Structure 1
């Protein structure tokens, strides 16, 4: 139990809402358009987390912007069909808010899709601020997005924890000076996250309540 935590920074995709199927399908739709039958599900797992530009520029710098547009079109059109809730997230986030914790989303998504996902999962009212890809010059694991959220919330890094499903979240937290927590439901697997040495590993979203000293009952 760490009672001096006042602020919780959450990644969104794969952490609070289950966008795994949406993201994997968006990548497969895009990549197999340009490279037919060359990509299967497991091939795109490494692309979950980094900004789209970073991924597509490595694959094809000349067509990266075109590929981003195709990805986003499919992603927006299929968002509400493929996004689902993770068990216990709504209740846990509501409990944290009721206990006075400061809550923020720190994501590599664009703001409009973050808000859409939060509304779909009924989570939007609980968050004090959102830091999206279009708010910063550098995405996670650079500390800029986390420090921007902390500045808005008037919180210090040492009283915050970054929770996410990707190594970008863990390294971003370490770079910003916060505590870190990985989630075992990451599509990349628990062992992958453990190799980046987060301070905590959540086997259930409810585990965060014990870490910050809240009685879940």
Structure 2
């Protein structure tokens, strides 16, 4: 396989923000709804843009809910967020080897940049395509196509790595190779159902796949 460019999702793929996300959803839902949401129900909200998740709950108060969520998330961000094992050294190695690296996320750019900074990866990626940069979020191919254009890369020589079906489908829709991560909070089997080209048991598996 000839891969020159690797695009990564951020949350749940490179950095562990799951407990922060769950805590922020719990805080927000408690404030705006009468229903007690359990952990499994909240997991369904992880992946899509916030506005879509909250619209499915209360279409009249989406903006207020998003604001409450973001305030909680930002306030508690640094005490929760860490990189997954082997991520920092693997990404650093890929950069040293000359691979073109980018982030494609459904987060707002400023929050995504904060996550990279907290984990010491702010200088490892050439581009970051966040929610601010696109009209259509993953699984629409637009974010990946935008990343490819900015990196002057081609879809067949690009690998999209993510923890959610949105990532796998976005990659397929854009024509890239795809890799799922077994540490997805949704479960490895859930991700395998979307038939990524590769499944990573840990991030360093990328080096073996690429023959690096």
Q: TM-score range by the shorter chain?
A: over 0.9
> In the alignment, which residue of structure 2 is the partner of 1:123?
121
Secondary structure of the structure 1 residue equivalent to 2:160:
strand
Q: Which of these residues, 41, 46, 53, is aligned with residue 44 of structure 2?
A: 46
- What is the total number of aligned residue pairs between the two structures? 212
4+ residue runs over 6 A deviation: none
Q: 1:151 aligns with which of 133, 149, 152?
A: 149
Instruction: Note the alpha carbon deviations across 1:124-177, whole angstroms, 9 max, x for none.
Output: 111000000000000000000000001000000000010000000000000000
State which of 31, 34, 50 in structure 2 corresponds to 1:33.
31
Deviations along 1:55-77, one digit per CA (max 9) or x if unpaired, are 11111000111100000000000
Q: Provide structure 2 residue ranges, at least 5 long, that are not aligned to the other structure.
A: none
What is the distance in 2 between the residues matched to 1:82 and 1:42? 20
The Cα offsets for residues 171-215 of structure 1, whole Å up to 9 and x where unpaired, read as 00000000000000000000000000000000111111111111x
Offset of residue 35 of structure 1? 2.1
CA-to-partner distance for each residue in 1:53-110, whole Å, 9 max, x for gaps? 1111111000111100000000000000111221110100000000000000000000
- Identify unmatched segments of 5+ residues in structure 1: none
In structure 2, what is the equivalent of residue 109 of structure 1?
Answer: 107
- 1:192 is the counterpart of 2:190: yes
1:156-195 correspondence to structure 2 within 5 Å: 156-195=154-193
Equivalent in the alignment of 1:97: 95
Normalization by structure 2: what TM-score?
0.98
Q: TM-score, normalised by structure 1?
A: 0.96
